[in-house]
Structure 1
């Protein structure tokens, strides 16, 4: 079977978000790499999701949801005893979000222990692009992180691209040094890196987004895009700095959940369709600009920008 153009490796969770107008809670499914897979599929790219879910009813609903979104779920394993993780979103008056997680025993964390993992990894390694994040790495212990790095290495050896977003979340790591070590092990295999400057400053102490550009280029990336929220994005292709590409429009966000993921998906979908980096950045801005106007990470299909 032909592999999808992009395979995203991570965790999809049950998402709880609250409507501030009614105090009603809404349940959905999301997770940083799953969000990228969904938005890439909506944009017309063949996208697969590499993960593990449980055998519980919510995991079955999650798989059905991803199938309806057009995501290739052949890389999703089923864990016999664990369940799907869960998180709840809270937003402040400016739409900035914070999360509470219940995921310590999620199925995705035990992916490498499952009997089908080897076959799923071998097939995923044939994809044109592998997408992963710092959150992907944080799911696993040191042995699992080494297997993620091995997968990235194999994808590159097969002629594919490895795309990485650090998506640094301190709560997912025992300390910053552990995150830096895990990122450093996968960095030599990453050809496209899509960090958020706020995360880079928190993890590495970067004072300027050019510090982030330089570090990832030095590690081996050919294309780096540093996301800077409503200020826009700075990108550099093969070390040639583009300067800041501002967002086409600025609206007060309702909920910033999924902003970076949707930018990444819009950017990568455009790249896969043959766009130049600058055009791909603008595509990322357009999608993210719409996503932040809706609650939760995944917006209704009819709200997708044209």
Structure 2
């Protein structure tokens, strides 16, 4: 891997509304791969470049998103702006234990046409030249069947040219017609993944795996598998070795939004900078432990 890796993250950023205890709403922006892109850019420091691949509208919210990403150092060259379209929107309601409930308005979101417009052609052609292409289960859901097919072609070409593919399984049942459709979509892309960043609960919900051993057995062909388990130790299999890296204890959890996204960002940044899987996982736990002590997906720099 080059010392200045070029990384592309594919997915959706949405307008985020946080429902506060007094009934007011705080507006910001968030989305799983976008959260990872921002935290990855912060964690990498001066190393490499981070570009976000998505489609937005030509509205003021989309303008503000692009401005925020630019200020974070995330590249905008792979962002499409579709006239007359809007981004998706979601609201976070958080209970006394910091656990979240999400309400979504995203059926007409511009990102659903991210890989089907004429403007997508040069973007799809450029993606295989990146050193790392990163996407998630939510990316798969929002792209739709045609977009998923084009993504799969891109992943194959990326690996053929020597790039690496990173996948975060983020499974959201409400985004799929049924679990069978999701399983089919996941199974197709998992064959082209080099690093799998998996949440154990999502693996259980989607594929019915009962424990970590079943998960690792299912992904023998993937070179590096990281199993995120919330407050429990994460489990890693890499180069034939297995590791367990304990999470950090947090006294008060405020909001678990982006805990997994931030872990993935710090883990990937560590690996790209030459750290061992254990060192990268510790960095992931450190960042996630900070993120869950603040409301919202993106904590202040």
Q: Deviations over 1:60-119 (max 9, x none)?
A: 111111111110110001111210111110111111111111110111111122222111
Q: 1:189 aligns to what SS in structure 2? A: coil
Report which stretch shifted further, 39-48 or 127-136.
39-48
- Corresponding residue of 2:162: 159
Residue range with higher mean Cα deviation, 10-19 or 192-201: 10-19
Separation in 1, partners of 2:251, 2:271: 26
**In terms of mean alpha carbon deviation, does 247-256 or 10-19 score higher?**
247-256
Partner of residue 304, structure 1: none
Counterpart of 1:120 (choices 123, 135, 143) is 123
The one of 175, 185, 198 aligned to 2:178:
175
Matched, 1:37 2:37: yes
**Counterpart in the other structure of 2:6:** 5
Matched, 1:272 2:272: yes
CA distance in 1, matches of 2:7, 2:249: 29
Q: Which runs of 5+ in 1 are unaligned?
A: 302-306
Q: Give the unaligned 5+ runs of structure 2.
A: none
Which whole-Å CA distance do the structure 2 matches of 1:72 and 1:140 have between them? 21
1:250 aligned partner: 250
- Range moving further from structure 2, 274-283 or 249-258: 249-258
For 1:91-106, what aligned pairs fall within 5 Å after superposition?
Answer: 91-106=94-109
RMSD: 1.3
Which moves more between the two structures, 150-159 or 193-202? 150-159
| In structure 1, distance between residues paired with 2:39 and 2:92 | 20
SS at match of 2:219: helix
8 Å CA contact retained: 1:134, 1:183: yes
- 286-295 or 141-150, which deviates more: 141-150
What do residues 116-153 of structure 1 show as CA deviations (whole Å, max 9, x unaligned)? 21111222221111110110000122222111111111
Determine whether 1:194 maps to 2:178: no
1:136 corresponds in structure 2 to: 139
Mapping for residues 16-27 of structure 1, pairs under 5 Å: 16-20=17-21, 22-27=22-27
SS of the residue corresponding to residue 275 of structure 1 reads coil
Q: Name the structure 1 match of 2:223.
A: 222
Structure 1 Cα separation of the partners of residues 163 and 217 of structure 2:
23
Return the TM-score normalized by structure 2.
Answer: 0.95
Aligned 8 A contact 2:19 2:92 in 1: yes
Aligned equivalents of 2:130, 2:249: Cα separation in 1 = 34
- Relative to structure 1, the CA distance from residue 256 to residue 282 in structure 2 (aligned partners, 3 Å threshold; closer, same or farther) is same
Counterpart for residue 287 of structure 1: 287
SS at match of 2:85: coil
SS in 1 for 2:191: helix
Residues 16-61 of structure 1, C-alpha deviation per residue, up to 9 Å, x if partnerless? 11333x4432111110010111001111252110011000111011
1:214 deviates by 1.9
Q: Distance in 1 between matches of 2:124 and 2:231?
A: 36
Q: State whether structure 2 residue 205 is matched by structure 1 residue 207.
A: no
Aligned to 2:236: 235
What SS does the aligned partner of 2:204 have?
helix
Post-superposition CA distance 1:169-202 (Å, at most 9, x none): 1001011110110001101110000010000001
Provide Cα deviations, 1:245-273, integer angstroms capped at 9, x if missing partner.
11133333110010100000010111111
The one of 53, 56, 69 equivalent to 1:53 is: 56
> Which consecutive aligned stretches of 4+ in structure 1 deviate over 3 angstroms post-superposition?
none
Q: How much has 1:154 moved relative to structure 2?
A: 1.1
Say if 2:225 and 2:236, in contact at 8 Å, map to a contact too: yes
User: How many correspondences in the alignment?
Assistant: 295
**Contact 1:79/1:114, CA 8 A, preserved across alignment:** no
Q: Does structure 2 conserve the Cα–Cα contact (< 8 Å) formed by 1:4 and 1:72?
A: no
